[in-house]
Amino acid sequence: MAKRSFLIPGVDKRLLIKDSIKTMPDVTRRRFIAGSASLGALTLLTGCDVVDSSSAEEMLKSVSKFNDAVQAFIFNPDALAPTFPESAITKPFPFNAYYDLDDAPDVSAADWKLEVRGLVDNKKSWTLDELHKLPQVTQITRHICVEGWSAIGSWTGTPLRDFLKLIGADTRAKYVWFQCADKDGYNSPLDMRSALHPQTQMTFKYANEILPRAYGFPVKIRVPTKLGFKNPKYVVSMEVTNDYKGGYWEDQGYNSFSGS
Amino acid sequence: MASLTVTDEQVRATPAKVIQPAWVRVMHWINAFAMILMILSGWQIYNASPLFGFTFPRDYTLGGWLGGGLLWHFAAMWLLMVNGLAYLVTGFATGRFRKKLFPITPSGVLHDVRAALTFKLGHDDLTVYNYVQRLLYAGIIVVGVLIVLTGLGMWKPVQLHWLVMLFGDYPTARYIHFFCMAAICAFLVIHVLLALLVPKSLRAMIIGR
């Protein structure tokens, strides 16, 4: 109980809105190194101008790629994310996005279909009713945000690897790339080994209720071995591909693998 | 007059005693650089989701925004970890830790703390650390190990689940990581202040003598 209470301040609603504003993509942030006063502070402290902005940016990008490789290397496909009892669930589970809840995608189930593309045998689109008929499992795991806060939630849906098998996906491909209904076209690549992880889930329910709009109705991809931003919500299509197609946050500088 | 003249031979015969060997100096300054990068980028990351009711001033953060701060943090961590590991191995292998940091006795610490607070703690022989120094230097090594372990646990809470369990759970590891940072910052302030008060110790850390 005490543990849960100190989680709440980090996910306070007003703070979240503030965070969302802060994490709004803008031109200055895309050049995340340039022109920041903090570099002056660093130069002062170290006494040498080690961080010429463009070369520093190149160096950081290379290290981030190196970190992708390190994380892929230490990723154990059999290592399970810890699971929790229902009593450990964080209430309320925070809504978190780069926009306010009122601006979240409002998907109409009747018009929505999950598109399946790329290296798969069966490219048929799926209605929500069809997806809901698939066998489902529930997991209670910790969602860890790139910002540092975390929250425990209960998600129910079909293991993604079962769905990939069902559609005849080429699981030797490198990525499953998700496209979402968010404004500005949210998307995110998921490496195949993480996609095939037993806990990676095509989620239809939160806390045994149909996924509410706040948590990604109609479909969210729950990946407890990844940071929150690699758990796409409001999914409209998935593509099995060998190409690295980038992602909304990945392109702005968040580490692409971002594994837990 | 003759007794005041020093010949080249005599200078060579009595070289100044090396207080800080080269490996200590190199690793010390690499660590200082890596640590400052880690602290400033860590403050940037903290600001994205503060644990307490305050944030760090933007001017003292690195990276410009959360994503930039994370890139710096996860780049500088390699420098900090590789250098820190090399320091620990060399420190144990050469016997430097044993010789310079131990023993740490409660009575010795009490005596030297009292002496320090009454400005009677001498620094005549820089090759011997007093008990306050021993306690702080050994303590900061322990804090350094702790901050790296909590950091690794938070970086890979599934793959290194056992490491997170060691500290309780993920949010607890996050708090410990923060308090270790605070301890390092406090150490840094005292350490720099004392080095400036005894400039020959600073010189020893730069040129060795």
For A148-194, the pLDDT digits (tens) are: 999 999 999 999 999 999 999 999 999 999 999 988 889 999 999 99
Strands A235-241 and A115-118: parallel
Q: Which residue of B has its CA nearest to A61?
A: B71
Q: Taking residues A217-225, what's their average pLDDT?
A: 97
Q: Which residue of B has its CA nearest to A9?
A: B51
Q: Which residue of B has its CA nearest to A62?
A: B75
B104 & B66 share domain: no
What's the Cα-to-Cα distance from A232 to each of A171, A238, A250, rounded to whole Å?
20, 11, 13
Please list every residue in chain B whose beta carbon sits closer than 8 Å to the beta carbon of residue A7. Answer: 171
**pLDDT at A32 (0 to 100):** 46
Alpha carbon of B183: minimum distance to chain A alpha carbons (Å):
19
User: Rounded to 5 degrees, what are φ and ψ at B64?
Assistant: 85, -40
pLDDT tens for B101-122 read: 999 999 999 999 999 888 888 8
| pLDDT band (50, 70, 90) for residue A109 | very high
Interface confidence, given as ipTM, is 0.89
Q: Is residue B3 part of a domain?
A: no
Task: State which amino acid sits at residue B8.
Answer: D
Q: Is residue B143 part of a domain?
A: yes
**pLDDT at B181 (0 to 100):** 98
User: Which of B58, B71, B171 is the closest to A6 by Cβ?
Assistant: B171
**pLDDT at A8 (0 to 100):** 43
pLDDT tens for B121-158 read: 888 888 899 999 999 999 999 999 999 999 999 999 99
Residue A2 reports pLDDT greater than 60: no
Return the structure tokens found at A125: 């689109």
Q: Is residue B148 part of a domain?
A: yes
Report the candidate in A165, A28, A3 with the shortest Cα–Cα distance to residue A88.
Answer: A3
How many domains is chain B built from? 2
B116 & B160 share domain: yes
B114 & B189 share domain: yes
**pLDDT at A105 (0 to 100):** 95
Dihedral-angle region of residue B102 (phi above 0 means left; psi in -120 to 50 means alpha; beta otherwise):
beta
pLDDT tens for B20-72 read: 999 999 999 999 999 999 999 999 999 999 999 999 999 999 999 999 999 99
Q: Is B49–A38 a contact, with Cβ atoms under 8 angstroms apart?
A: no
The boundaries of the domain holding residue B175 are 95-209
pLDDT > 70 in chain A, percent: 80
Q: How far apart are CA A159 and CA A136, in angstroms?
A: 7
Place of tokens 């290296």: A119
Mean pLDDT lowest among A30-44, A106-120, A217-231: A30-44
Residue B205 reports pLDDT greater than 60: yes
Alpha carbon of B107: minimum distance to chain A alpha carbons (Å):
37
Q: Is A22–B171 a contact, with Cβ atoms under 8 angstroms apart?
A: no
**pLDDT at B23 (0 to 100):** 96
Return the structure tokens found at B36: 């400052």
B78 & B163 share domain: no
Place of tokens 């100096």: B25
Helix (H, G, I), strand (E, B) or coil at B165: helix
Please list every residue in chain A whose beta carbon sits closer than 8 Å to the beta carbon of residue B161. Answer: 79, 81-82
Alpha carbon of A97: minimum distance to chain B alpha carbons (Å):
13
Q: How far apart are CA B54 and CA B120, in angstroms?
A: 39
Asked whether the CA dihedral B86, B89, B93, B97 is positive or negative, the reply is positive
B122 & B149 share domain: yes
Task: State which amino acid sits at residue B55.
Answer: T
Q: Is residue B8 part of a domain?
A: no
Q: Taking residues A135-150, what's their average pLDDT?
A: 98
B139 & B38 share domain: no
User: Which of A38, A64, A260 is the closest to B61 by Cβ?
Assistant: A38
b/e map B84-97, b = 16+ CB within 10 Å: beebeeebeeeeeb
B116 & B186 share domain: yes
User: Which of B49, B71, B175 is the closest to A19 by Cβ?
Assistant: B49
Helix (H, G, I), strand (E, B) or coil at B111: helix
Return the structure tokens found at B87: 């320091």
Strands A115-118 and A175-180: unpaired
Q: For chain A, what is the mean pLDDT?
A: 86
B41 & B101 share domain: no
Helix (H, G, I), strand (E, B) or coil at A202: strand
**pLDDT at A52 (0 to 100):** 58
**pLDDT at A3 (0 to 100):** 37
User: Which of A64, A79, A82 is the closest to B71 by Cβ?
Assistant: A64
Q: Is B71–A60 a contact, with Cβ atoms under 8 angstroms apart?
A: yes
Q: How far apart are CA A178 and CA A234, in angstroms?
A: 10
Contacts across the A-B interface (CB distance below 8 Å): 135
**pLDDT at B121 (0 to 100):** 84
Within an 8 Å CB–CB cutoff, is residue B170 touching chain A? yes
Interface test with A, best of B28, B66, B74, B80 (most A CBs within 10 A): B66
Interface test with B, best of A60, A65, A78, A98 (most B CBs within 10 A): A60
Q: Is residue B16 part of a domain?
A: no
| pLDDT band (50, 70, 90) for residue A14 | low
Helix (H, G, I), strand (E, B) or coil at A12: coil
Instruction: Return the half-sphere exposure (C-beta side, CA atoms, 13 A cut-off) of residue B133.
Output: 16
Q: How far apart are CA A124 and CA A130, in angstroms?
A: 11
Q: Is residue B6 part of a domain?
A: no
User: Which of B59, B68, B161 is the closest to A33 by Cβ?
Assistant: B68
pLDDT tens for A185-199 read: 899 999 999 999 999
**Nearest 10 degrees: CA dihedral of A112, A118, A124, A129?**
-40
Q: Is residue B176 part of a domain?
A: yes
Report the candidate in A178, A173, A177, A167 with the shortest Cα–Cα distance to residue A122.
Answer: A167
Q: Is residue B5 part of a domain?
A: no
Q: Is B159–A76 a contact, with Cβ atoms under 8 angstroms apart?
A: yes
Q: Which CATH class is domain A75-252?
A: alpha beta
Alpha carbon of A257: minimum distance to chain B alpha carbons (Å):
12
Q: Decide which of B14 and A30 is more confident.
A: B14
Q: Is B64–A33 a contact, with Cβ atoms under 8 angstroms apart?
A: yes
Q: Taking residues A97-102, what's their average pLDDT?
A: 90
Please list every residue in chain A whose beta carbon sits closer than 8 Å to the beta carbon of residue B163. Answer: none
Asked whether the CA dihedral B3, B6, B9, B10 is positive or negative, the reply is positive
Q: How far apart are CA B146 and CA A159, in angstroms?
A: 37
Q: Which residue of A has its CA nearest to B75?
A: A63
